[in-house]
Amino acid sequence: MRVLAVASQKGGSGKTMLAAHLAVQAAAAGAGPVVLIDVDPQGALPEWWDKRGRESPALIRTTPERLASDIQTLRQSGFCLAIVDTPSAVSQGVAGVIRLAGLVIVPTRPEGEAIHAATGTVDLCAREGKPLLIVGNGTGAGAVLAPEPLSRLAQNGPVAPHVIPQSAAIAEAMRGGRTVAEQASAHPVAHIIADLWHYVSDRMERNFRRTVFAVPRGGVAAGFGRRGL
């Protein structure tokens, strides 16, 4: 089971929105069964999930302390992908989540102060030695980042080529327990999310292979990395 965390210390940057959209998209793309894991006591994700009345993606609520054993159980239950939504904080709890993730998505609004605020989360990923991917969220028309915010974002780490525009369709879908693609599959945002998932998934697989191949030769798990790849 792959574990993807969505983290950013800045509230309102789009963590819950992105966790929900990527989970639904991943399931639609055949990466499932997918489980959303909420470790944010605010519970915005369960609120969205309750409105869905659908089984997929699954959702569990837990705490950072219980996350490792929950991941173990979910893995044994046959889930292939877990996406963890985190509170807007730089804390021991969020560090613990990042430690268990294969890749960390850091959604960032492309304004000066928000870009600066992302550095706390970026530093946390660096301390835990975890790969991250910054995703610009809430740009104006055109779903492109202007050169200046893009270069500032890129100082923090790799930036996804797909930028999510500010869109009433996103807010509306989230309020209704849906994603944009579930509301209107031809909507431009639906295509952006589909492309973003493709990119994230590709990156996650590459990181996973790199980690597995990094198992030292002659160690306890020698040769393990090559089996089944």
Ligand X SMILES: Nc1ncnc2c1ncn2[C@@H]1O[C@H](COP(=O)(O)OP(=O)(O)O)[C@@H](O)[C@H]1O
Catalog residues that contact ligand X under the rule CB under 6 A. Answer: 8, 11-17, 44, 88, 137-138, 164, 166-167, 170-171, 174
Cα separation values, 88 from 11, 29, 79, 91, Å: 5, 28, 26, 9
Residue choice 1, 31, 44, 150 for contact with Mg ion (CB under 5 A): 44
Cα atoms in the 13 Å half-sphere on the side-chain side of 10: 20
Residues 6+ apart with CB under 8 A from 122: 106, 132, 134, 156, 157
- Identity (one letter) of the amino acid at 111? E
33 vs 132 by CB, closer to ligand X: 132
Return the number of the residue (15 or 130) whose C-beta is nearest Mg ion: 15
Partner whose binding site includes residue 171, from ligand X, Mg ion, none (CB under 5 to 8 Å by kind): ligand X
Q: Tell the smallest beta-carbon distance from residue 50 to ligand X (Å).
A: 15
Among 2, 15, 21, 130, binds Mg ion (CB under 5 A): 15
Name the DSSP letter for residue 173.
Answer: H
Which residue from 180, 127, 115 is spatially nearest to 153, judged by alpha carbons? 115
Tell me which of Mg ion, ligand X, none is bound by residue 24, counting a contact when its beta carbon lies within the kind-specific cut-off of 5 to 8 angstroms: none
Point out which span in 22-30, 43-51, 178-186, 201-209 binds Mg ion (CB under 5 A): 43-51
CB of 213 to ligand X, least distance (A): 34
Structure tokens that stand for 10 in this block: 């800045």
Contacting positions for Mg ion (CB under 5 A): 15-16, 44
